[in-house]
Amino acid sequence: GNSVTQMEGPVTLSEEAFLTINCTYTATGYPSLFWYVQYPGEGLQLLLKATKADDKGSNKGFEATYRKETTSFHLEKGSVQVSDSAVYFCALATQGGSEKLVFGKGTKLTVNP
Partner 1 sequence: GAVVSQHPSWVICKSGTSVKIECRSLDFQATTMFWYRQFPKQSLMLMATSNEGSKATYEQGVEKDKFLINHASLTLSTLTVTSAHPEDSSFYICSASGLANEQFFGPGTRLTVL
Instruction: Please state whether 78 falls in left (phi above 0), alpha (psi between -120 and 50) or beta.
Output: alpha
Smallest distance from the beta carbon of 72 to partner 1, in angstroms?
Answer: 17
Smallest distance from the beta carbon of 15 to partner 1, in angstroms?
Answer: 26
Check: CB of residue 113 under 8 Å from CB of residue 84: no
Q: Which is nearer to partner 1, 69 or 99 (CB)?
A: 99
Check: CB of residue 75 under 8 Å from CB of residue 62: yes
Q: Which is nearer to partner 1, 74 or 106 (CB)?
A: 106
Residues making contact with partner 1 (CB under 8 A): 4, 36, 41-46, 89, 97-106
